[in-house]
Structure 1
Amino acid sequence: MLISCFPRVERGNRIILTGRSSKVGLQVKCRSDLLYLQLLTHEKSWDSFEKRVFGDQGSCPAELSEGGHQIVEKCQRLPLAVVLIAGVTVRGKKKEKDLCNII
């Protein structure tokens, strides 16, 4: 049923479906193998977030550390979530109250 929601797959087009459960991928009846990605450790999640948000500054300022770690925790070690939220964060003002609004 999910496949019927998308236009006909032409040569070169791809649909990427992500989820925590392999049952989702199996229900779609993909014509390729499922890829099983590992969750990040909390440390790797933080490193990725910090690098994307504060890369130009080198590291997260101490006053933003708690809010930043809360954001990373909400991402539940999912690589795509960390990257997406870091992208939203880097575009905003880097103040403690602003980080709390992202959570």
Structure 2
Amino acid sequence: MYAYTSIRCEINLVNLENGWKLLCDKVFGPEHDHPPELEEVGKEIVEKCQGLPLAILVTAGRLSKIPRMLEDWKDVCRALSKSIASHHPRVLRAITSCLSASNHDFFYL
């Protein structure tokens, strides 16, 4: 039988500028060659991820698979409003649990 140990895990959040760079790296590559009309909605998307690097990376993965069209990015932004933004505490708990589990913080009873 396993029991979970109660260990605090600190998550480093990113600011808007670094979040935007992270999103651009994953969606557009190192040159950050993106259509200028996507920057405003892209930064709004990053804000909705509330500084969570994993949320930014998951969202960037989604954005990299859809057309680089303003309306498509706005759809992603609206979807984030309904998911990550409204469930922020749950998302943090899930990420913290995953981080702790990945560090093998379990013991046998």
Scaled by the length of structure 2, what TM-score is found?
A: 0.62
Write 1 or 2 for the structure with the bigger share of strand. 2
Unaligned 5+ runs, structure 1: 1-7, 10-28
Rg: which structure is higher? 1
Unaligned 5+ runs, structure 2: 78-109
Asked if 2 retains the 8 angstrom alpha-carbon contact of 1:51 and 1:59, the reply is no
Work out which of the residue numbers 3, 7, 10 in structure 2 matches 1:36: 10
Cα separation, 1, equivalents of 2:30 and 2:69: 16
CA displacement, residues 3-31 of structure 1 (integer Å, 9 cap, x when unaligned): xxxxx66xxxxxxxxxxxxxxxxxxx733
How many aligned positions are there? 77
Identity, in percent, stands at 32
Work out which of the residue numbers 61, 70, 85 in structure 1 matches 2:44: 70
1:34: how far off?
2.7
**Which amino acid is the alignment partner of residue 60 of structure 1?**
H
1:57: how far off?
5.7
Write 1 or 2 for the structure with the bigger share of helix. 2
Q: Which runs of 4+ in 1 moved over 6 A?
A: none
1:89: how far off?
0.6
Q: Which residue of 2 aligns with 1:81?
A: 55
RMSD (Å), alpha carbons? 2.0
Higher relative contact order (CA 8 A, sep 6+): 2
Scaled by the length of structure 1, what TM-score is found?
A: 0.65
